[in-house]
């Protein structure tokens, strides 16, 4: 049965932790290498990723393309409007056909329901590259970035200011998984998905909703913003007017904790949802965040191809251990079998 990465909800917390750890490990191992160099273990050699786009993309397209190449595989870029899918072929038939040609599909789609239907019909892994409901790959990159800059996620306070959109939905999904609290400041009519909020709270996640941006950022370790007008929105003037009080200004950032960091998934519109002094200032991590789309998604891709194991154990440094029939023998340091396969197994230590 194929492993899909459609949302953070169904992925156990231990496996999400292992994905982050693997992303950081792979990133560190590439330090100083040309960007086109294949990772030394080439874990996805011979695999082909189809990237299917219904929406325009910069970061998603380039990061997935380079990611699969660095893992040893290759990619095909597909625009929905250029396929029979754009002329009435069903999502399900498209999924079944592509499953015969490629090894995995990443979809950047208008409707989340279409990605779910695609995954249900596919016999290969399907990854959500963005939908109207969620953006799980972005949040994995965001959390990697925060940890790299010294933030302990468990117990941290993250503030979201602006529209309660698909990106904040994935932050809500992540909150109970990683143990951070989430403060969400939105105007009336722009609140996040209520079902997501209630589910997170039911899983012991702390989600606080505010109508005042200053209250939302008070005590925050991180402040996050996103564009006020997304692709497909047809009420730009209305949205800009109603959300203008939620712009992240230098004054608003000053109400967060000292040393608070700023995130934005980009593209940004300086002067609308954030002032230039914030996004271009020392507290901003937006370009590290953008880079980490590459590393986090490589770890997601690798996770999608991992098969479950029936044992769990450690090996002494310098020993050899075969973890999975699909993997090569490798020299091991402080091994925990990959991706939460049993109990506390949360990651691997390959060099």
Which one of 132, 226, 297, 345 is the catalytic residue?
A: 226
Sign of CA dihedral 42, 13, 198, 121: positive
Confidence (pTM): 0.88
pLDDT of 307 reads 65
Is the pLDDT score of 338 beyond 60?
no
Residues 97 and 182 in one domain: no
Which domain covers residue 187, as residue numbers? Answer: 152-284
Residue 226: active-site member? yes
Average pLDDT, the chain: 89
Which one of 17, 137, 239, 265 is the catalytic residue?
A: 265
Q: Which two tokens stand for residue 129?
A: 């590259």
Closest CA to 128 of 54, 228, 236, 203: 54
Residues 212 and 237 in one domain: yes
Q: Which residues contact 12 (CB under 8 A, 6 or more apart)?
A: 340
More confident of the two residues 224 and 321: 224
Range from 82-91, 204-213, 220-229, 340-349 carrying the lowest mean pLDDT: 340-349
Q: How many CA atoms lie within 13 A of 338 on its CB side?
A: 24
pLDDT of 43 reads 97
Residue pair 152/188 in contact by the 8 Å Cβ criterion: no
Question: What is the chain's length?
Answer: 351
- Where residue 135 falls among pLDDT bands split at 50, 70, 90? very high
Residues 88 and 179 in one domain: no
Cα distance between residue 325 and residue 244, in whole Å: 55
Mean pLDDT confidence for 324-342? 37
- Where residue 328 falls among pLDDT bands split at 50, 70, 90? very low
Return the CATH number at 117: 3.40.50.1370
More confident of the two residues 315 and 44: 44
Q: How many CA atoms lie within 13 A of 213 on its CB side?
A: 26
Is the pLDDT score of 317 beyond 90?
no
Which one of 17, 112, 138, 239 is the catalytic residue?
A: 138
Percent of the chain with pLDDT over 70: 87
Return the CA Rg of the chain: 20
Mean pLDDT confidence for 128-132? 97
Residue 265: active-site member? yes
Is the pLDDT score of 258 beyond 90?
yes
Residue 30: active-site member? no
Cα distance between residue 187 and residue 197, in whole Å: 16
Which one of 108, 157, 173, 264 is the catalytic residue?
A: 108
Which one of 47, 239, 264, 293 is the catalytic residue?
A: 293
Residues 239 and 265 in one domain: yes
Residue pair 291/263 in contact by the 8 Å Cβ criterion: no
Sign of CA dihedral 142, 147, 152, 157: negative
Cα distance between residue 279 and residue 271, in whole Å: 10
Instruction: Please indicate, yes or no, if residue 145 is contained in any of the structural domains.
Output: no
Residues 58 and 159 in one domain: no
Residue 163: active-site member? no
β-partners of residue 184 are: 160, 209
Percent of the chain with pLDDT over 90: 82
How many other C-beta atoms lie within 10 A of the C-beta of residue 293? Answer: 26
pLDDT of 88 reads 84
Element (H, E) at 53: strand 48-53
Name the domain count of the chain: 3
Q: What is the pLDDT of residues 192-219, one digit of tens each?
A: 999 999 999 999 999 999 999 999 999 9
Which one of 4, 26, 112, 135 is the catalytic residue?
A: 135
Residue pair 15/343 in contact by the 8 Å Cβ criterion: no
Residue pair 186/213 in contact by the 8 Å Cβ criterion: no
pLDDT of 231 reads 74
Specify the residue for token string 């239907």: 117
Residues 173 and 256 in one domain: yes
Residues 109 and 167 in one domain: no
Q: What is the pLDDT of residues 2-41, one digit of tens each?
A: 999 999 999 999 999 999 999 999 999 999 999 999 999 9
Instruction: Please indicate, yes or no, if residue 343 is contained in any of the structural domains.
Output: yes
Q: What is 202-224 written as a DSSP string? A: HTT--EEEESSHHHHHTT-SEEE
Residues 118 and 234 in one domain: no
Is the pLDDT score of 323 beyond 80?
no
Closest CA to 124 of 340, 301, 318: 301
Q: What is the pLDDT of residues 266-285, one digit of tens each?
A: 999 999 999 999 999 999 99
Closest CA to 301 of 114, 91, 73: 73
Cα distance between residue 264 and residue 280, in whole Å: 11
Residues 319 and 334 in one domain: yes
Instruction: Please indicate, yes or no, if residue 86 is contained in any of the structural domains.
Output: yes
pLDDT of 230 reads 84
Residue pair 280/126 in contact by the 8 Å Cβ criterion: no
Specify the residue for token string 């002329």: 87
Residues 128 and 92 in one domain: yes
Residue pair 331/318 in contact by the 8 Å Cβ criterion: yes
Residues 236 and 324 in one domain: no
């Amino acid at each position: 049965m194929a492993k899909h990465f459609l949302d953070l909800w169904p992925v156990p917390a231990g496996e999400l932790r292992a994905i982050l750890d693997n992303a950081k490990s792979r990133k560190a191992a590439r330090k100083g290498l040309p960007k086109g160099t294949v990772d030394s273990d080439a874990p996805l050699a011979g695999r082909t990723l189809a990237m299917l786009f219904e929406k325009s993309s910069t970061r998603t397209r380039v990061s997935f393309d380079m990611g699969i190449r660095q893992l040893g595989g290759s990619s095909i870029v597909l625009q929905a409007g250029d396929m029979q899918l754009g002329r009435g072929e069903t999502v399900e038939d498209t999924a079944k056909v592509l499953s015969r040609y490629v090894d995995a599909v990443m979809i950047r789609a208008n409707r989340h329901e279409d990605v779910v239907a695609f995954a249900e019909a596919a016999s290969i892994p399907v990854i959500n590259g963005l939908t109207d409901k969620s953006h799980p790959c972005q949040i994995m990159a965001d959390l990697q970035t925060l940890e790299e800059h010294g933030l302990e996620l468990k117990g941290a306070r993250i503030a979201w200011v602006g529209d309660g959109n698909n990106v904040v939905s994935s932050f809500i999904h992540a909150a109970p998984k990683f143990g951070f609290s989430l403060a969400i400041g939105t105007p009336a009519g722009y609140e996040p998905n209520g079902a997501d909020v209630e589910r997170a709270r039911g899983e012991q996640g702390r989600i606080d909703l505010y109508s005042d941006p200053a209250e939302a950022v008070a005590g925050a370790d991180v402040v996050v913003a996103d564009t006020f007008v997304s692709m497909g929105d047809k009420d730009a003037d209305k949205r800009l007017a109603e959300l203008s009080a939620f712009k992240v200004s230098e004054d608003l950032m000053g109400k967060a904790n000292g040393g608070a960091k700023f995130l934005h998934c980009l593209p940004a519109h300086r002067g609308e949802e954030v002032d230039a002094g914030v996004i271009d200032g020392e507290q901003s991590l937006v370009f590290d965040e953008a880079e980490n789309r590459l590393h986090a998604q490589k770890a997601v891709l690798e996770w999608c191809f991992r098969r479950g194991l029936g044992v769990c154990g450690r090996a002494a440094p310098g020993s050899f251990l075969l973890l999975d029939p699909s993997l090569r023998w490798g020299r091991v340091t402080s091994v925990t079998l990959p991706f939460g396969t049993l109990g506390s197994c949360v990651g691997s230590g390959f060099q």
